[in-house]
Chains A and B, each alone.
Chain A
Amino acid sequence: MMRLNRLLEILVLLIALIGVIPLYPHLEPLPRVILPTAAIAGLILQRKGIRPPASLFTAVSLLLFLFYALRFGRDNVVVPAANLLAIFLAVRLAGERSNRAYLQTCALALFCLAASTLFSLSPLFLVALVMLLVLIVSALVLLTFNETDPLLALSRPELATLGKVIACSGGASLLLMLFFFAILPRTQIPLWDTMPGQGRKASGLSDRVQPGSTTAIEAGRGIVFRAAMAPLDSQQLYWRAVVFNRYSAGAWVRQPPPPGEESIRPRGAPVRQAIFPEAGKLPYLPGINVTARISGVRSTTAGDLVTTSPAVTRRRTTYEAFSAPGDTLALRRPIDRPFYLRLPKDLPPRLAAAAAKIGRTGRTDQERLSLARELFRSLDLRYATRNLPTGSNSLDLFLFDRKQGYCEFFASSLALIMRGAGVPSRVVGGYYGGNYNELGGYYVITDELAHAWTEIYLEGKGWVTVDPSTWASGFAELGNERNRSLSRRLATMADTLNYYWELAVITYDLERQLQLVNRAGEQMHRLTMPKNLRRNGLVAVLAVAAISIVVLLARRRRLSPEERLLRQFVALVEPGGEMPPETGILELATRMEDPRAIRFAMLYSSAVYHDRPLGREERRELSSLLKALRKDRRRS
């Protein structure tokens, strides 16, 4: 036997716990301490049978409410509200154990869970919500019992029955939740996700390339975006985001490309990427080089194929990029050479000299590029992210003294050398590589994958992608560093969960809702169109028919031959195959007014009512009579 109110107490405590856990990390210290203390105090008071006056709790609640109410402000709504909710919950946990208090606790736990979404909306929320839903349903059922008889105790079988009821209603509410999630109207912008990029450090990609600003770079593993697509060769994973076309004050920056520059977009764009960027600070939309077009979001594409959209900085969004992997960006007309050759006066002298030498030696731009490559190789540069040269002369130091640096050094140096040698060049910022998640079928691009490379203009070809980092020793190992350890794999799986959570829940807005409706409608229209579907349907229908036939045959097997014949005979007269009452087979045959039917009935009943089985000859005759009768029936 189990006392119901005991069960209820445990259940409500569990509800409070689940409601608070997602909110707990975002609470201030005071409620963080009060919550567990209050819960334990409540339990102890209950054990000892002490009932503190309700006015005490009211007073405490009021006091704390005033304390937090004073901190409410236009910019500070969420934090005080969440803390207040937690404190109310704590007061309830410490106070009396009445049905009313239980109900309030359940409601407060639910509010706490809702409040937690204002801080972060992770898959943990879904887990907590589902658990809370089931537990609250059970608590409500138990509460109705408790309301009628507080001393009620239930036996094990009774509890099992109750459990079934609860499971059914809980399951139904889960289904309803799913249904309402899909159909309830959405806003254009997800309301809940009001603080994009909050707590996120600046990504590896920045709006300027400035080598020499730090001694070491520390790119985090924060996710920049995910790209759902088929896996590509790692050599092709250049995610082109932005083009820096002007060097000034030791940094590459972006200026609007000269008017009239127009890239030829690749015709076929076989690589489709569905990209889910985490909201960041930069408006650039990366895509596999060379990106033909980007759709799914309002965006503008400049002449150098840099696509920007202010939307990505404001909210989570998704877009689709269509690319033809390659390393050449063809142009419609010759470029504005002076624009792409512009150099500052104060170039590092050794770099400028090297550039001038290449410019003199090489006869064509292609040759000059080869010479530059030879120069880089001969310098024996190493790829490194630590112990970097700094200062205004950092590039000079990088090339000739320290001989180690990271992608920005390589790209800046090459672009400057090429410009110095009279070859138009520019620096490209983006990402290189990506961890393919086999489970979800997408690439994860993290901050550490931010990369810079160059594009060199070659007459007759266009902008050719040249990644000078690949000429360094140590660059190739970079990718292999990311080993395939267990923790890494676990992280991948966790990320898959996150990916689907975002795919299904976070980015589910009005647009997606409409898409869903449209797609459903289209599929309804197309339902009969595909050939294999029809074939599959046919196969399914045939399978069902075969199974029914087998079942029917199995059922008929159980009938004796007499019964089978009788059934067929009755089916001739009575559509349902049901014998009318008060009627024998002879009577039935007489009604048919057919000598064959009467013959059948006579033969049949003579055997049956003589208590002897039908002979083979008799059976044959009966079958043929049946066949003839059936044929007649069909004709008429």
Chain B
Amino acid sequence: MSNPQRDAILNAIETVTGSYLQGKVRAVKLSFIALLSGGHILLEDIPGLGKTTLALTLAGILGLTFGRIQCTSDLLPSDITGLSIFNRDENRFTFIRGPIFNNILLADESNRAMPKTQSAMLEAMEERRVTVEGVTYQLPEPFLVIATQNPTEQVGTYPLPESQMDRFLIRTGLGYPPEEVEQAIIRHGSIRDEIREIPPLLSAEAILATQRAIRDQVYLSDKITGYIMKLILATREHPLVAAGISTRGGINITQAARAHAFLDGRDYVAPEDVLAVAIPVGAHRLVCRNENEHLDKEEILRSVLRNVPVPLA
């Protein structure tokens, strides 16, 4: 399927991974999948691997507005949503929009914020609107939250509860780039300045149109929904798991699979699409039993994938 929208997006992905974010193809692609299926992404990795750079680059290349919150323990919900300030000239309160009123919001180190603040942000993410002082404000479209979380830091953090993790379409790590790529990156130094001058390759309208196209044009067979259903059921019946993938999780897997199929140039979802997105979309939604807390959720989901037969005919 040749599609100008798809070609534009693939071109953008290629540009990003080729020029700015070498060795981050997977994360970039997943970010685009999240963007195209209208979800949000949680990057979980140690600092200094390019989480912020990824967010900035995406914002730049998409020609979208970008906001950033550095989460700390004293961050208040109003610091995110914005607040009303009395305007003397006009003799009334004027609403000053917070950083959430951007197409792309980077919530850095989100687990350092207080639960109150976290939930305010996550609600906005889900609802795509903000209600402040009785007035509801619609958030811009497209809207993508890129939250980062440092898994190793424990002191003074409020790890996102499972219920809120469920609101992220995708959770992924970045991982270290390949050695020779990393060496080149080190030699080159920081690219923050370059990022500022990235020419936008896509517009907000183009992305919205693509989102619509994915919803309408990518065919989803009953075989695939049956397959996803089986996967979800298998996670719920898994002995190590207390709570498996939720219905929202199933919807998200389907959305992500559709986007993946679109990026792959197909107008139908194949099991490969499900397999490709299942772990980033599904793993963080699993709630392990207390005694199995330490287990790697991705590994558990992988074992489920291995045991559910792929629909082939």
Interface positions of A (Cβ within 8 A of B): 560, 562-563, 566, 579, 581-587, 605-606, 608-611
Task: Kindly name the residue among B223, B271, B306, B309 whose own CB sees the greatest number of chain A CB atoms within 10 A.
Answer: B271
Contact with A along B263-307 (1 / 0, CB 8 A): 000101111100100000000000000000000000000100111
Q: Which residues of chain B are within 8 angstroms of A583 by Cβ–Cβ distance?
A: 275, 310
A586 partner residues in chain B, CB cutoff 8 A: 270, 272
Nearest CB in chain A: distance from B275 CB, A: 6
CB distance from B267 to the nearest CB of A (A): 8
Judge whether B313 and A566 touch: CB under 8 Å.
yes
B266 to chain A, nearest CB (A): 7
Show 13 A/B contacts (Cβ-Cβ < 8 Å), sorted by A. Answer: A563-B313, A566-B312, A579-B310, A581-B306, A582-B302, A583-B310, A584-B310, A605-B270, A606-B268, A608-B223, A608-B312, A608-B313, A611-B219
Known A-B contacts A582-B306, A608-B313, A610-B219; the reply to A587 vs B266 at CB < 8 A is no
Of A560, A582, A608, which contacts B305 at CB under 8 A? Answer: A582
B313 to A584, Cβ gap below 8 A? no
Interface string of B242-277 (1 = CB under 8 A from A): 000000000000000000000000101111100100
Interface membership of B222, Cβ < 8 A: yes
Interface-central residue, B268, B302, B307, by most chain A CB under 10 Å: B268
B268 contacts which chain A residues (CB < 8 A)? 605-606, 609-610
Closest Cβ–Cβ distance, residue B101 to chain A (whole Å): 40
| Residue of chain A at shortest CB distance from B268 | A609
Question: What's the minimum C-beta distance from A612 to chain B, rounded to whole angstroms?
Answer: 10
Within 8 Å of chain A (Cβ to Cβ): is B190? Answer: no
Judge whether B223 and A609 touch: CB under 8 Å.
yes
Whether A609 contacts B272 by the Cβ 8 Å rule is no
* Cα–Cα distance between A317 and B268 once the two chains are bound (Å): 88
Are A581 and B269 in contact, CB atoms less than 8 angstroms apart?
Answer: no
Asked if A560 and B313 sit within 8 Å, CB to CB, the answer is: yes
Q: Closest CB of chain A to B306's CB: distance in Å?
A: 4
Query: Do residues B275 and A587 form an inter-chain contact, with CB atoms below 8 A?
Result: yes
CA A579 – CA B269 in complex, angstroms? Answer: 19
CB distance from A573 to the nearest CB of B (A): 13
In this assembly, does B221 line the interface, its C-beta being within 8 Å of a C-beta of chain A?
A: yes
Q: Does B169 contact A (CB under 8 A)?
A: no
Cα distance A583–B268 when bound, in Å?
A: 17
Give the distance to chain B from A388, nearest Cβ to Cβ, in Å. 99
Give the residues in chain A near B269, CB-CB below 8 Å.
Answer: 609
Contacts of A608 on B, CB cut-off 8 Å?
Answer: 221, 223, 312-313
Task: Say if the beta carbon of B224 comes within 8 Å of chain A.
Answer: yes
What interface size band does chain B fall in?
A: 20 to 34
CB contacts (< 8 Å) of A562 on chain B: these are 313
Known: A581-B310, A584-B270, A584-B271. 10 other contacts (CB 8 A): A563-B313, A581-B307, A582-B310, A583-B310, A584-B272, A584-B275, A608-B313, A609-B219, A609-B269, A609-B270
Cβ contacts under 8 Å, A585 to chain B: 270, 312
Separation in Å of the A140 CB from the closest CB of chain B?
48
Minimum CB distance partner of B272 in chain A: A584
In Å, the complex CA distance between A552 and B302 comes to 36
- Closest B residue, CB atoms, query A559: B313
Q: Which residues of A contact B223 (CB under 8 A)?
A: 608-609, 611
CA separation between A611 and B268, bound complex, in Å?
10
Chain B residues positioned under 8 Å from A610 (CB to CB): 219, 221, 268
- Binary interface profile of B, 191-214, with partner A (CB < 8 Å = 1, else 0)? 000000000000000000000000
CA distance A14 to B269 in the complex (A): 77
Q: Within the assembled complex, what's the spacing in Å between the Cα atoms of A376 and B138?
A: 146
Complex CA gap A563/B219 in Å reads: 21
Contacts of A611 in B (CB 8 A): 219, 221-223
Chain A CB within 10 Å, residue with most, of B269, B306, B313: B313
Q: Contact between A582 and B275 (Cβ–Cβ < 8 Å)?
A: yes
* Chain A, Cβ-Cβ closest to B224: A609
Residue in chain A with minimal CB distance to B274: A584
Output the least CB separation between B223 and chain A (Å). Answer: 6
Let me know if B312 and A579 touch, CB within 8 A: yes
Q: In the bound complex, what is the Cα–Cα distance between A585 and B275 (angstroms)? A: 12
Complex CA distance for A586 and B260, rounded to whole angstroms:
14
Complex-state Cα separation, A603 to B266, whole angstroms: 11
Query: Nearest-CB distance from B310 to chain A (Å)?
Result: 5
Closest residue of B by beta carbon distance from A561: B313
How distant is the Cα of A181 from the Cα of B305 in the complex, in angstroms? 61
Asked if B221 and A584 make an inter-chain contact with CB atoms under 8 angstroms apart, the answer reads no
Q: Which of B266, B310, B313 contacts A606 (CB 8 A)?
A: B266
Bound CA–CA A587/B312 (angstroms): 12
Within the complex, the shortest CB–CB distance from A576 to chain B, in Å, comes to: 15
Chain B residues with Cβ under 8 A from A563's Cβ?
313
Q: Which 10 A-B pairs rank lowest in CB-CB distance, beginning with the nearest?
A: A584-B271, A584-B272, A581-B306, A609-B268, A562-B313, A609-B221, A563-B313, A586-B272, A611-B221, A582-B305
**Chain B min CB distance to A628 (Å):** 21
The CA of A608 and the CA of B219, in the complex, are separated in Å by: 11
User: Whole-angstrom distance between the alpha carbons of A475 and B221 in the complex?
Assistant: 101
CA distance A297 to B114 in the complex (A): 113
With both beta carbons as reference points, the residue of chain A lying nearest to B305 in the complex is identified as A582
Which of A562, A563, A582: most chain B Cβ within 10 A? A582
A522 to chain B, nearest CB (A): 56
Residue numbers in A under 8 Å from B271 (CB-CB):
584
- Rounded to whole Å, the gap between the CB of A590 and the closest CB of chain B is 9
Complex formed: what's the CA distance from A605 to B313 in Å?
A: 8
Give A601's nearest chain B residue, CB to CB.
B270
Query: Nearest Cβ distance between residue B39 and chain A, in whole angstroms?
Result: 23
Question: What's the Cα separation between A585 and B270 when bound, in Å?
Answer: 9
A581 to B312, CA, bound (A): 12
- CA distance in complex: A606, B268 (Å): 7
Cα-based distance from A609 to B225 in the complex (angstroms)? 11
> In the assembled complex, how far is the CB of residue A601 from the closest CB belonging to chain B, in whole angstroms?
9
Q: Can you name the residue of chain A whose Cβ is closest to the Cβ of B266?
A: A606
* B220 nearest CB neighbor, chain A only: A609
B25 → chain A closest CB, angstroms: 16
In the bound complex, what is the Cα–Cα distance between A611 and B269 (angstroms)? 11
**B215-234 interface code vs A (CB 8 A; 1 in, 0 out):** 00001011110000000000
Hey, which chain B residues are within 8 Å of A560, CB to CB? 313
A577 nearest CB across to chain B (Å): 12
Query: When chains A and B are docked, how far (Å) is the Cα of A611 from the Cα of B222?
Result: 8
Residue of A566, A583, A584, A586 with most chain B CB atoms under a 10 A cut-off: A584
Q: Give the docked Cα–Cα distance between A586 and B312 (Å).
A: 10
CB distance from B143 to the nearest CB of A (A): 30
**In whole angstroms, what is the CA distance A21 to B266 when docked?**
89
Complex contacts, A605 vs chain B, CB 8 Å: 268, 270
